[in-house]
Amino acid sequence: MVCDADWGSSDYRRSITGYCFQLSKDGPLISWKSRKQPTVALSTCEAEYMSLSSAIQEAKFLLQLLNDFQVESSNPVSLCCDNQCAIALAKNPVQHQRSKHIDIRYHYIRQEIERGFVTVKYVSSSNNVADIFTKALSGQRVKVFIPNVFGI
């Protein structure tokens, strides 16, 4: 499971959230999203943090769906992000002056980490499949990601 954001790329300067989920490491995508964020992010960290929030909401929905189908699922969900600032903000519950402006509703990420529902890990931008959903990529980069997206 990976998520990504493209900071302020649209005409309205709203960022794009993107994420994708697979049941297994080599399987095809079962869920994905590419959407403009509802508010203007003031930094790349905030844009990525909002993307993490959306991805965790989707992860909770997918786990509930698996439980409804009586399929065993492993906890915690491992979610990868390519922004180290957003990961640090999610893991550190201290309020900083630089992050004070980030809407409180996104801070439930911290709660889900503390509960043990999700772990957030770093993935380099060159290996982040969710880039497909947030920015225009070169043909070469798309070819690298196609096997991961379609499970080929």
Q: What is the pLDDT of residue 20?
A: 94
Q: What is the pLDDT of residue 135?
A: 80
Q: Considering only CA atoms, which of 24, 13, 78 is closest in space to residue 47?
A: 13
State the average pLDDT for the chain.
84
For the chain, the structural domain boundaries read 2-150
Query: How do residues 3-36 score in pLDDT, each as one tens digit?
Result: 999 987 767 789 999 999 988 877 888 999 999 9
Task: State in words which class domain 2-150 has.
Answer: alpha beta
SS3 67: helix
Phi, psi of 21 (to 5 degrees): -130, 145
- The CB-side HSE value for 138 (13 A sphere, CA atoms) comes to 4
Q: What is the pTM of this model?
A: 0.83
pLDDT at 146 over 80: no
Structure tokens at 12: 């309205």
Q: Give me the mean pLDDT over the 124-140 stretch.
A: 81
Structure tokens at 7: 């900071």
Q: What is the pLDDT of residue 144?
A: 72
8-state DSSP, 28:
P
Q: Considering only CA atoms, which of 12, 85, 17 is closest in space to residue 45?
A: 85
Residue carrying structure tokens 């798309």: 142
